[in-house]
Amino acid sequence: MNLNTLFSIIITPIKPSFPNLKFRIKCTSSPQQTNRLELAKTLQNETLTILEWPSLCSQLSAFTSTTMGTSAARKGDVRIGESPEESIKLLDQTSAAILLPMPLDFRGIEDVMELVGRGVNGELLSIQEISAVRRSLRAARGLFDQVVEAYRQSERYYPLLEILQNCNFLTELEQKIEFCIDSKFSIILDRASDDLEIIRSERKSNMEDLDSLLKEVSTKIFQAGGIDRPLVTKRRSRMCVGIKASHKSLLPNGVVLNVSSSGATYFMEPKEAVDLNNMEVRLANAERVEEQAILGLLTSEIAQSKSEIKYLLDRILEVDFAIARAAHARWMNGVCPVLGSVGFKNDGLNGPGSLSVDIEGMQHPLLLEASLKRLSDPVASKSSNSVLWCEGNSGKGQRSSDCLTFPVPIDIKVEHETRVVVISGPNTGGKTASMKTLGLASIMLKAGMYLPARNNPTLPWFDFILADIGDSQSLEQSLSTFSGHLSRICKMLEVTSKQSLILIDEIGSGTDPSEGVALSTSILEYLKDRVNLAVTTTHYADLSLLKQKDSQYENAAMEFSLETLQPTYRILWGSTGESNALSIAKSIGFDEKIVNRAHTWVKRLMPDKAEKRRGLLFQSLMEEKDRLQVQANRATDIYSNTMNLYHEIWDEADDLAIREAALKAKETQKTQREVITAKSQLEAIVAEFEAKIATASMDQLNALLKESESAIASIVEAHSYTEESSVTDVDRSSLRVKLGDQVLVSGLGNKLATIVEVPGTDGMALVQYGKVRVRVNISNMRVVQSSDMTVPSNSQPQIKKQGQRIRSLKSLSEASSSEEGSYGLVLQTSKNTVDLRGMRVEEASHHLNMAIDSTGSSSVLFIIHGMGTGVVKESAHQILRKHPRVVKFEQESPTNYGCTVAYIK
């Protein structure tokens, strides 16, 4: 009985049933239409790359559950609906997948089409390869059973069931493979065919006879001393026994099959075993031929089922992508878009004043990835798609993007009758990114993907989404940037239809402005009557005026903050963007006359008068240049003088440090000498006391003790400090100084200076500190009076005078430490200055905090924030008020505009 007859008895054949596959075939009636469709396909593929659709597909690949799904997604082979009905069907599949309570199990499903193709080409598949086909078929049937079970619980899962319900799971082929092959041990079973079973039965019986014979012969050889132990083995595919070379005569007429490496042992086939070995070889060859026949039969059936297997794997891939789209939607908290295309029953969209595009809070999914949780390892979760059922990024009903600052959500609102949208605004303001977001959202809708937006985003269905974004320069085709853009736009105009979306970045740029405006206006006029929607970005103000003449135009502008001088990346619909150059110039401190003059020029420089006034503008700029050059030279002189003063002060400071070190060393030596003197005096008193006590009686002992204590007390008193202060402070409110007085100046770090000019009515006195003369307010100084001047030279011993000097130095030190800190000479240098002009608030705050942290103790920091709008200044003052190292700070004075001085602990 052959294999086919056996299976006709065991299994009732299952006739494959296939649905009528619908393919969208566009019939062409002429070569020109064929070329047009080819051109449209090429432009569409290029647009997908421009809008970064392959990157989004790669992002989606992390959520696939099969290796073929991952591979297809990474190649960008994600299905995009070719009709509104097909896109709605894909969205329904995503919605059904996102409602699944448990993940579907895709384990065991492999892409076996390569194996099937080899079978079709006549190659024989191995046991392992045929087992892989069986595993995939069984896993596919198991996946179908899971979907059926879900559908039994709720009909909302029908879109997933619909994908697989007409598939032929080739149950007959799967069971035939299972009947023939043990996949666990990778062997062909005896029951695979009657001939194989008979051959293996005969071979088994023959092997038993051969083995029994050889064991008997080997035992006799062993008993005769011809071998150390009985040995039965196989050599050259024949069974034999081992025997010593010296005893080979024990096997007369035996055949030597092999010799050991040492030559001491022969492997011989006894004469009695020749026929049995010959039978074993014949049966083994027959078994191998039969196994090859069985594998060939299974391979042939797999090859014949190529179309069914391909269709089944395609449907499984479709289910995999539906699950992946649902997982991706959950990951980014997406919402289901609404198809608002004309032709569908949606009266609200077709009414007057309704919106054909209504997207609120849309974020670019590729930019959003950095703000959400990292993608899980796609390999680790292939079997159960655990990414889908992981913990969400936010609570139910609330998008996590609400608390994110990047990317900035944008609103896209286009009325139903609008055909052309002109987006203007400053560079790096987000015009191109917003346009790309609209294009990518349209592709995602066609592919059945949810959008990272709020509420119910509404979009039309576009048959072609074509974009001209980026540099179209081509050296091979000798195209400049402008020519490259024109060439691409020209091709786009050839293939557009009433259902197309056209995206053009910086239309008409790269040439003379007047010609660029004229050409751009003409192109937009052409598109207005031939496409569903065209969106363009521009710096030409004239294009924004088209809305005044035709209601089919709409303006949009990227918002720009005059406070931070940075774009906010939000779209202002119905507004016209400006360059904001004059506002920026005014905010950073330009002379008001310059700004006003620029406003006058803007009003007067109309296109028809620009050529006439160009010479006047050049002359005005040259005059302004000369004036600024004079100011620059003056600033250079001031800088040179300041640096000379700085170097002089720096040299003086170095000299003061040397003198201070010398004074400390001198006073240390004096103190050490005083300690030695006091120590020697005490030692003399102790020695004298010990000498007297040796000969003194008990009555004299008390007297000696009192005498010694008195002497020690006088020495201690002579070297002790008195409570009187050698430096007295005078009430500052009634302080009177005269020429030559010595004062302690707090602004100089409580250093001793000399009055060289008495204070005037403003309370400012001129003091000299070394070679430096500065004006100091009388409230920042104290008069120093030395107590040595009132004490006679012979009123106390020499050691007490030394103590008074030390006390005088101590009082001066205490006087300086009683202040909040010693800040030295308050002079501005490059090392103690931080310039915040021209920075944003966040950047300025960061630089100021770094400057405060890196400033040394008891130092002064100059913060230059300029005048401007006051935003940076106010931010700097708030930081100075709260910073723990800032003791105080002085705002700008009439002599120091735009600068704040901070005193650091």
State pLDDT tens for residues 643-656.
888 887 777 666 67
Q: Among 57-61, 547-551, 666-670, which range has the highest average pLDDT?
A: 57-61
Please give the backbone phi and psi of residue 130, each rounded to the nearest 5 degrees, phi first.
-65, -35
pLDDT score for 11: 36
What DSSP string runs through 546-584? GGGT-TTEEEEEEEEETTTTEEEEEEEET------HHHH
Highest mean pLDDT among 486-495, 682-691, 863-872: 486-495
Task: Say which residue the tokens 């130092």 belong to.
Answer: 859
Residue 681 makes CB contacts below 8 A (sequence gap 6+) with 715
pLDDT one-digit tens code per residue, 288-315 = 999 999 999 999 999 999 999 999 999 9
Q: How confident is the model at residue 373 (pLDDT cuts 50, 70, 90)?
A: low
pLDDT at 820 over 50: no
What pLDDT was estimated at residue 802? Answer: 39
pLDDT at residue 895, as a whole number: 53
Residue 585, pLDDT score: 63
Q: What are 412's two structure tokens?
A: 């896209």
pLDDT band at 834 (very low <50, low <70, confident <90, very high): confident
Architecture of 355-366+406-580 per CATH? 3-Layer(aba) Sandwich (3.40)
Ordered by start, the domain boundaries in the chain are: 38-192+293-335, 194-283, 355-366+406-580, 614-691+698-717, 741-776, 833-904
**What's the rounded mean pLDDT across residues 371-396?**
45
Residue-level pLDDT at 685 = 80
**Helix (H) or strand (E) run with residue 775 in it:** strand 772-777
Q: Between these two residues, 667 and 16, which has the higher pLDDT value?
A: 667
Reported confidence tier of residue 330, pLDDT bands at 50, 70, 90: very high
Q: What is the pLDDT of residues 504-528, one digit of tens each?
A: 988 877 776 777 788 888 888 888 8
473 pLDDT more than 50: no
Q: Mean pLDDT over residues 450-455, rounded?
A: 92
pLDDT above 70: residue 273: yes
At residue 777, the pLDDT reads: 82
What is the mean pLDDT of the segment spanning 155-178?
Answer: 93
Phi and psi torsions of 553, nearest 5°: -100, 150
Taking the C-alpha atoms of residue 280 and residue 294, their distance in angstroms, rounded to an integer, is: 21
- The string of pLDDT tens digits covering residues 581-608 is 666 566 656 777 776 777 676 665 554 4
- Omega cis (within 30) before 607: no
Q: How confident is the model at residue 160 (pLDDT cuts 50, 70, 90)?
A: very high
Position with higher pLDDT, 538 vs 30: 538
Per the model's pLDDT, the better-predicted residue between 766 and 462 turns out to be 462
* Least confident range of 369-378, 588-597, 886-895: 369-378
Task: For residues 443-453, give the mean pLDDT.
Answer: 95
Say which amino acid occupies 685. I
Q: According to the model, what pLDDT value does residue 655 have? A: 67
Comparing 454-468, 486-500, 676-690, 803-817, the range with the smallest average pLDDT is 803-817
Worst-scoring range by mean pLDDT, 372-386, 446-460, 658-672, 856-870?
A: 372-386
More confident residue, 426 or 140: 140
Rounded to an integer, the average pLDDT of 861-881 is 84
Question: So what CATH class is 833-904?
Answer: alpha beta
- Taking 80 as the threshold, does the pLDDT of residue 19 lie above it? no
Q: Which of 775, 778, 772, 787 is nearest to 743 (CA)?
A: 778
Distance of CA 586 to the CA centre of its chain: 36
Res 27: pLDDT: 41
Is the confidence at residue 207, as pLDDT, over 90? Answer: yes
- The reported pLDDT for the residue numbered 3 is 44
Least confident range from 83-87, 378-382, 529-533, 784-788: namely 378-382
With bands split at pLDDT 50, 70 and 90, how would you rate the model's confidence at 688?
confident
- Distance from C-alpha of 339 to C-alpha of 344, rounded to nearest angstrom: 8
Query: Per residue in 819-839, is it b (16+ CB within 10 Å) or e — as a string?
Result: eebebbbeebeeebebbbeeb
* pLDDT of amino acid 144: 95
| Cβ pair 130, 302 in contact under 8 A | yes
pLDDT score for 826: 62
What band does 18 get if pLDDT is binned at 50, 70 and 90? very low
Confidence class for position 800, pLDDT limits 50, 70, 90: very low
- Residues in contact with 316: Cβ distance below 8 Å, sequence separation at least 6, in sequence order: 66, 106, 109, 140, 143, 164
> At 816, phi and psi to the nearest 5?
-70, -35
C-alpha gyration radius of the chain: 49
pLDDT of 112 reads 93
Q: What is the pTM of this model?
A: 0.59
CA nearest 458: which of 558, 365, 533?
533
| Mean pLDDT within 450-461 | 92
Q: Looking at the domain 38-192+293-335, which fold is it?
A: MutS, DNA mismatch repair protein; Chain A, domain 3 (1.10.1420)
What pLDDT does 851 receive? 87
Q: 3-state DSSP call for residue 420?
A: strand
pLDDT at residue 896 in the model? 62
In CATH terms, are 355-366+406-580 and 833-904 the same topology?
no
Yes or no: domain 194-283 corresponds to CATH 1.10.1040.10:
no
Q: What is the mean pLDDT of the chain?
A: 78
Closest CA to 815 of 764, 885, 745: 745
So what's the pLDDT on residue 758?
83
- Position 874 confidence tier, pLDDT thresholds 50, 70, 90: confident
Is the per-residue pLDDT at 275 higher than 70?
Answer: yes
**CA separation for the pair 183, 181 (Å, rounded):** 6
Report pLDDT for 812: 37
**DSSP secondary structure letters along 720-735:** SPPSS-SS-PPPGGG-
Residue 612: the pLDDT is: 47
Q: Give the pair of three-digit tokens for residue 59.
A: 């992002």
| Residue 190: predicted pLDDT | 92
How does residue 244 score in pLDDT terms, banded at 50, 70 and 90?
very high
Average pLDDT for 779-784? 80
DSSP three-state, residue 707: helix
Task: Determine what percent of the chain is predicted with pLDDT higher than 90.
Answer: 36
pLDDT at 885: 87
Q: What is the pLDDT of residues 724-759, one digit of tens each?
A: 333 344 444 457 788 888 888 876 667 778 888 888
Lowest pLDDT segment from 419-428, 530-539, 611-620:
611-620
529-541 pLDDT, tens digit per residue, is 889 999 998 877 7
Which has more pLDDT, 67 or 826?
Answer: 67
What pLDDT is attached to residue 637? 85
